[in-house]
Structure 1
Amino acid sequence: MPDEMELDFQSALRVAGISIPEDRYAIMLDAYHQYRKLVAVLDEPTPYADEPAAAPHLAASPVR
C-alpha cells in the first residue's frame, strides 16, 4: 500500500501527464522524498544573524 507521500507523487505525475518507466520509478520516488525534505528545510525562516543579506557591505563609506 503506497504511503501518503507516494500518493502525492503519483498524483503530481498524473496531473502533469508524466509517465515514468517502471525501472526508474523507485529512484524517482526517492528523489521526490528528498525534494520534499529539502523544501521543508528551505521553508523554515533563516535567522537574521545567518541571513547573507544582513552581512555588512564593503562599501560602508559614503558615496562620492
Structure 2
Amino acid sequence: ALGKIREEAGNTAQALANYQRSLELDNRQEYVASRVAALQGGASALGPSVELGTRIAERSTEPTR
C-alpha cells in the first residue's frame, strides 16, 4: 500500500524501494511484481526486470501456448 501511495504521489524511487521490500517479504504478489517491472522499465539495465518476469512466469499456473 505504501508503494502505491508513493507512486501516486510521484515519488517513484521510494515507491520502487517499497515494492521491492514487499516482494522480499512475499514474492507471490503479482501486482507488486508488475509495478516493480513497470517502474524499472525506465532503468538502463533490464536484468532485474527480466529476472522478475521470469519469476512471475515460473509461478504461473496456466499452461504455455
What TM-score do the two structures reach when normalised by structure 2?
0.31
Higher RCO structure, 1 or 2 (CA under 8 Å, sep 6+): 1
* TM-score after normalising by structure 1: 0.31
* Bigger radius of gyration: 1
